[in-house]
Amino acid sequence: MRISKALGTALLLLGLAAGPAAADDDPKAASAPAAAGTSFRTAAEIGQGQTATAEGSAGDYLYWSFPADAGQRPTVRATVKLPKAHAAETWQLDVYDGLRRRQACQWGAQTRTAAAEAGSVELACVLRTVRAWSEPWANDPLPGTYYVRLTAVGLPTGDLGLPVGAEVRVDAEDMGGAAAVDGRLAEPLVPGSATASAAGDQEDTSAVLSSIEPEDGWTSGWWSDRWVWTAVGGLLAALAGIGGYALTRGSGRPARVPPSA
């Protein structure tokens, strides 16, 4: 009895000691950036599920970047904290893909006007589902790096340079097999990766402008419930064929012929 009690106490202490280490190893527990970039090239990288913060001035362009894989529907939310005294300000949240094409929002308040002396303004943009492949002429969202740009538009002259704070959070919902398409990109749209591959230098990562990727790696959405439904449909079709054959083939015994006189 004493041995089992001592063993239980040791295991409990071991679990308490390992708890903080496990939390530190959690990628989502890693510190999010506390500053934003001023252009596409200097955009601060944030992961899905992280909340990034930044301090700036009214009139600045604030940039962040995040990864999005096939089958995901990203949602970007931003909160701008305004100074106590200011005029009415209009803030806008724009999202661009790896080719720097502006992506439309399915829904969400992408542009909002904060009343004079309002404490904050909240913006949101729900993108379309990222497709694994698309026609070259289409503007569909594709796997790769996405950029968030936050700025004030039509800012009054008296508000230029006023200190502001910003919080940006990116989440993504997995849409499953309903968003699956035939075909896949050879490489995700990560700026700089194509240049590095073309140079033939796989070790040099200095040319890659964005190093962040999804938690499970790129093309993590190759498996979806579309495969399950396809297999279930095939199985049901096979069972229906077997059942139909069993019903129509008869008993298999030849009809009895009366003996001839």
**What pLDDT is stored for residue 168 in this prediction?**
97
Which CATH number belongs to the domain containing residue 213 in this structure?
2.60.120.380
Whether 171 is in a domain gets the answer yes
33 in a structural domain: yes
Which element (helix H / strand E) includes 199?
none
**For range 108-123, the mean pLDDT:** 94
CA distances from 114 to 57, 124, 156 (A): 16, 14, 12
Residues linked to residue 54 through DSSP beta bridges, in sequence order = 166
Per-residue pLDDT at 4: 47
Q: Answer whether residue 55 is part of any domain.
A: yes
Residue 69 has pLDDT above 70, yes or no: yes
Q: Residues 192-248: pLDDT tens digits? A: 644 444 444 444 444 445 667 777 777 754 555 666 666 777 888 888 888 887 888
What confidence tens digit (pLDDT) does each residue in 70-85 have? 889 999 999 999 999 9
User: Model-level pTM?
Assistant: 0.71
Euclidean distance between CA atoms 125 and 252, whole angstroms: 66
Predicted local confidence at residue 247, as pLDDT: 82
Dist. CA 29–CA 261, nearest whole Å: 96
Phi/psi for 246 (5° steps) reads -65, -35
Q: How large is the average pLDDT for residues 116-128?
A: 95
Whether the pLDDT of residue 28 is over 70: the answer is no
Query: 20 in a domain, yes or no?
Result: no
Chain-centre distance of CA 252, in angstroms?
Answer: 60
User: What end-to-end distance do the CA atoms of the chain give, in Å?
Assistant: 95
Residue 227 confidence (pLDDT) = 63
Quick check: 45 and 30 in contact, CB under 8 A? no
Q: Per-residue pLDDT for 178 more than 80? A: no
How far from the centroid of its chain's Cα atoms is residue 85's Cα?
A: 37
If one counts the domains in the chain, the total is 1
| Type of residue at 92 | Q
